[in-house]
Amino acid sequence: MKCVIQRVLNASVTVDSKTVGSIEKGFLLLLGVADGDTEAEAQKLVKKIIGMRIFEDENGKMNLSIGDVGGEILAVSQFTLLADCKKGNRPSFTGAMRPEEANRLYELFVKMLVDGGVKKVDKGVFGADMKVSLINDGPVTILLDTETL
């Protein structure tokens, strides 16, 4: 699994001009599920995300977690994170998990975030054409890959 974490002041996702998810201060997560990923990778990723200390403390140091600041999460599925660009100019997505199983792991990932105590977790619509808006805070953007965690 690959996950882009963006620390945001707010973020939202719309489908067909309708807002389907929105948050205030917290994380926008873009999640790519790779072929062969399992519940274990989802759990490892959730544990890392919830523990990430990338919010500033009273001294301006990145030392606080999402729970420490009462932050919210917007989780959006994004298979394009699995793009293979080694050959030619057209990305291949053969490394992405088949949609039915990827959706199951995405939904499990979201449930694990909720079960992990995140104040509010909203999500996009799996497989939909989504428009994502955000105000990046910092900017702080981090890429996590379960192959290297």
* Structural domains for the chain: 2-145 (3.50.80.10)
pLDDT at 51: 98
Mean pLDDT, the chain, whole residue set: 97
State the pTM of this model: 0.96
pLDDT at 118: 97
Catalytic residues: 78-80
Using 50, 70 and 90 to split pLDDT, how confident is the model at 92? Answer: very high
**How far is residue 131 CA from its own chain's centroid?**
15
Using 50, 70 and 90 to split pLDDT, how confident is the model at 75? Answer: very high
Average pLDDT in the 80-109 region?
A: 96
Q: Tell me the CA distances in angstroms from 124 to 76, 106, 130, one per residue in order.
A: 5, 10, 7
